[in-house]
Structure formats: structure tokens, C-alpha cells
Structure 1
Amino acid sequence: MGLRLQDVSVEISGTVLVDKLCLDVGAGEVVGLLGPNGSGKSTALRCVYRALKPSGGVVWLGGDDLSEKGMRDTARQIAALTQDSRAELDFTVEEVVALGRAPHQGGNLRLDARERRLCRDALARLDITHLAARSVLTLSGGERQRVLLARALVQEPAVLVLDEPTNHLDIRHQVELLVFLRGCGLTVITALHELNLAAAVCQRIALLCEGSLVTCGKPAEVLTPDTIRSVFGVEATVVTHPVTGAPQLLFDLPVDSNTEEIPL
């Protein structure tokens, strides 16, 4: 199922956070939102998972205006992992993951055999089966992140919205998450700070600055030295990954000519 942001704007207390953003995410496509802090990435995503109502414009899911759909219906189709996701109650990991079925249930019903299997599969996919009986309050930040992503998968969404999903994850689990996103078949829109990770996983990248779309295209088209300099204010050299062919950025650190090297 495709997703479309049509002239989406967000203005709060006289400040424009997102300005007439237009972006199409095709069915099964992985699109990354990149940009400096405060560029509007998280704000745009909040409009997609309906934590925020746009001041103007429309978010389309398939052919439907999201604002005209019920919240439960939206939750059946869109799952979100946000920067401020919390699991503060003393639930076990398996109880938190099972909450992903809530949009599909009418009342406080027990999970059926299929739903229990979905939960087991999500625990295994995120490498947290061994944590199933643990309280979420005892977990590390990376472990909680994987629990909350498993909960999102159990929703069986058509669209997955991820805001900085690699936060707190070690390198192994970052790589596993990226491999999963590339092959999951879901429509994915994700905000990322790590440009090289975005280049590795995203089929297209939308680059934002000060609430506006600067450019959108394949990673090699967007992640150029000129664009990086203009948007992020840093110098970068672009090289090609020898295995995947994805563009990778080597950032040029300024050298202080007044600093003498200390011999080892």
C-alpha cells in the first residue's frame, strides 16, 4: 500500500515546522527522511502516524485521506516506532509485544493460536526470544528498541513508520534491522541521522532542510558533496562501497594548523 504526503504543512505557535511537503512512498518501498536537527523529519512522520494533525495538506494511504479514517482503522494499517516510544509499565517483553494485536481485537480478548505464533515469530526475528519473560523495565535501551519494533511488526501493518530506529542498537543489530527493512515487503518511511546507513537501506532519500524538501531521489543522486555541503555544512567525499555499490560518505575533518602532532 502506497503513502503520499500532499502539500503537508505544520505550523505551531506561528513557527512553520513543515512547509508544503510533497512526497510519494510506493508500495513496498523504503524511503528515508534525512536532514539536520530541526529540519522537520519527526514532525512529518507524526503526521503520518496521526500523532499530529497537519495545518494544511493531506496524507493519503492508498486512495484514502487518513484524516477521514478511524484511529483503530489507521492502527491496523500503520505501525510506528517513535523516538519517544516508552514501555514504562512493568510488563514482560512478551506482554508488550502482544499489545501489537490490540488494534485487531474487539475488547480484552486472549490471543488465538495464529496471533501467538505471530508474537513468537516477531520475538525470534528481533533476536529477543530469550528476553520473553523479562520485565521491560530491566532492559537496556537497545533491547527495548527491539521489543517495541517487534510490537510494531505484530500489528501486521501495511506501512511501517520509523523515527531513528537504530538509536541504542549495537552494530550487529543495526545491520540486522537494515537487512530486515530491505526484505520485509512493507512500505517503510524512516527518519535517519546516519547518512551511510540510509544509503545502504533506502531505495530513495528525501532530504529536508528548515521544513522544506530540498531534493528526493536515489541515494547516489541525493548524497553528493555539493548537497551535503549545502544542507549539513560539512565537506564530504563520496566513495562506492566495494560490495554493495552503495554510496558511502567520508567526512573531511578540519585540520587545525596550529596544533602540533605529538610523537608516539
Structure 2
Amino acid sequence: MDLRIDDLSVDLGGARIVRRLTLDVPDGQVVGLVGPNGSGKSTALRCVYRALGPSAGRVLLDGEDLTSMSPRSSAQRVAALTQENGSDLDFTVEELVALGRTPHLRGNQPLSARERALCRSSMELLDVAHLAGRGVLELSGGERQRVLVARALVQEPRVLVLDEPTNHLDVRHQLDLLSLLRDVGVTVLVVLHDLNLAASACDVVGVLSEGALVDAGTPEKVLTPALLREVFGVEATVVPHPLTGGPQLLYRLPPSRKNSR
């Protein structure tokens, strides 16, 4: 399913947070949004999973305006992992994962055998099946993050929207998750802070600064020393990864303040 953010603007508290953002996320591709803190990445994502309405512009799924769909219909197409996924309710892991089926169920309709199998396979895929009977509040941050990704996959979305999904994950699970995003076969829009992870996992990278899109394209095209200096204020050398050939960023620390006194 194609996702298009079309001339999107968002005003919050009297300030324009997102400025006329247009970005295409083609069917089956992984598109990453990167940018400094406060650049509007998460705000743009909130419009895609309908936690926030845009002040102007549209979000389109295969050309259809998201706001023309019922909440149930859009939730059957778009699943989200947000930064505000905490819960005060101590569901078990398997109960929380099963909630991903909610948009597809009516009333108290029980899960079918296929849906129960889907929950088990998603938990196995995210390496949390052994936690099925544990309370979610007992889990570490990384374990809970993987449970929430499993819940999103159980939703069987056509579009997967993830805001900093590698938060709290150790290196192995970061790499496993980003590899999964490339293999899962759905359209993915993901916010990442780690530019090297974005370079490795994304087909296209969109760079935001002060709410506006600075550039979008392949990691090789976009992640240049000049852009890193302009947008992020850092000095970096870009080198080819020795195994994949993709761009990898080597940062230079700023001069020590102690030595400059």
C-alpha cells in the first residue's frame, strides 16, 4: 500500500511544528525520517496514525484520504508503535499482543484459531514467546518494546508506523528488528535517531529540520558531510561499510572545552 504525506502542516500551541511536508512511502519500502530533536518527526507520524489532525494537507493511503475512513477501517490498514506506549494495566504479554486484533473483531468476539496462531508466531518472531504469561509491568524496557512490535504485527497492517522503535533495545535486538522491517513485506515509515541504523535499514531517508523537509532520497544521496553539518551541526566522514558498501558515518568530537580554556 502506498502512503503519501501531501503538503502537511501542523500547528500546535500557536507554533507551526510541521511545514508543508510532502513525502512518498512506496508500497513495501522502508522510509526513515531523521532530524534533530524538535524537528517535527514525531508530530508528522502522529498525523499518519490519526492521533493528531493536520492543520493543512492530507495523508493518503493508495490515494484515499485517511480522514475519509472510519477509525476501524484505518486501524485495519495502519499500525503504530509510538513513544507513548506505556500502560498502567498489567496485562500479560499474550493478552497485550492479542489486543492487536481489536480492529478486526466485533464486540467480545473471541480470537479464532488462526488469530491465536498469529499471536504465537509474532511473539516468536520478536523473541518474546517465553514471556507470554508474564505481566507487562514486570518487563524491562527492551522486552516491552519487542512485545509492542509483536502487537503491531498481529494487527496485520498494510502500513507500519514506528517512532523510535530501537529505543531500549540492545544491539542484537536493534539489528533483528530493523532486519525484520525490511522482510515483513509492508510499507514502513520509521523515525530513527541513529543515522547509521537509518542508513542500513532504509530504502529512502527524509531529513527534517525546523518542521520542513530538507532532502529525501537514498541514504547515499542524502547523508553527506555537508548535510550533516548544516542540519545536525556535526562534522562527519562518510565511508562505505566494508560488508554492504552502504554509507556509514564516522563522527568527530568537538574540541574539548577543557583544552580551549
TM-score (norm 1): 0.97
Aligned to 2:23: 23
Q: CA deviation at 1:88?
A: 2.1
Partners of 1:63 and 1:259 lie apart in 2 by 57
- Find the residue that maps to 1:19 and give its secondary structure: strand
Aligned to 1:243: 243
Partners of 1:49 and 1:222 lie apart in 2 by 26
Counterpart residue identity of residue 120, structure 1: R
Q: CA deviation at 1:170?
A: 0.4
Change (3 A) 1:120 1:56: same
Partners of 1:73 and 1:64 lie apart in 2 by 12
Partners of 1:259 and 1:57 lie apart in 2 by 50
Partners of 1:219 and 1:36 lie apart in 2 by 17
Change (3 A) 1:13 1:257: closer
Q: CA deviation at 1:12?
A: 1.5
Change (3 A) 1:234 1:117: same
Q: CA deviation at 1:19?
A: 0.5
Partners of 1:148 and 1:241 lie apart in 2 by 31
Q: Which moved more, 1:111-120 or 1:87-96?
A: 87-96
Aligned to 1:189: 189
Change (3 A) 1:258 1:59: closer
Partners of 1:182 and 1:157 lie apart in 2 by 15
Partners of 2:5 and 2:205 lie apart in 1 by 15
How do 1:44-123 and structure 2 match up within 5 A?
44-123=44-123
Aligned to 1:136: 136
Aligned to 1:40: 40
Partners of 1:8 and 1:224 lie apart in 2 by 26
Give the count of matched residue pairs. Answer: 260
- Find the residue that maps to 1:9 and give its secondary structure: strand
Aligned to 1:160: 160
Partners of 2:52 and 2:133 lie apart in 1 by 34
TM-score (norm 2): 0.98
- Find the residue that maps to 1:244 and give its secondary structure: coil
For structure 1, the 5+ residue unaligned runs are none
Q: C-alpha offsets along residues 1-26 of structure 1, whole Å, 9 cap, x if unaligned?
A: 00001100001222000011000000
Aligned to 1:222: 222
Q: CA deviation at 1:257?
A: 8.4
Aligned to 1:126: 126
**Does structure 1 residue 3 correspond to structure 2 residue 3?**
yes
- Find the residue that maps to 1:208 and give its secondary structure: strand
Partners of 2:129 and 2:50 lie apart in 1 by 31
Partners of 1:146 and 1:25 lie apart in 2 by 24
Q: CA deviation at 1:87?
A: 2.7
Q: Which moved more, 1:125-134 or 1:10-19?
A: 10-19
- Find the residue that maps to 1:236 and give its secondary structure: strand
- Find the residue that maps to 2:144 and give its secondary structure: helix
**Does structure 1 residue 145 correspond to structure 2 residue 145?**
yes
Q: CA deviation at 1:76?
A: 0.3
- Find the residue that maps to 1:214 and give its secondary structure: strand
Q: C-alpha offsets along residues 165-184 of structure 1, whole Å, 9 cap, x if unaligned?
A: 00000001001001101111
- Find the residue that maps to 1:254 and give its secondary structure: coil
Q: C-alpha offsets along residues 11-61 of structure 1, whole Å, 9 cap, x if unaligned?
A: 122200001100000000100000000000000000000000000001001
Partners of 2:257 and 2:173 lie apart in 1 by 39
Partners of 2:194 and 2:249 lie apart in 1 by 10
Counterpart residue identity of residue 51, structure 2: A
Partners of 1:14 and 1:226 lie apart in 2 by 32
Q: CA RMSD in A?
A: 1.1
Q: C-alpha offsets along residues 45-102 of structure 1, whole Å, 9 cap, x if unaligned?
A: 0000000000000100112100110001011000000011123211100000000000
Aligned to 1:255: 255
Partners of 2:184 and 2:153 lie apart in 1 by 10
Q: CA deviation at 1:258?
A: 5.9
Q: C-alpha offsets along residues 141-184 of structure 1, whole Å, 9 cap, x if unaligned?
A: 00000001100000000000000000000001001001101111
- Structure 1 segments of 4+ aligned residues over 2 angstroms from their partners: 254-260
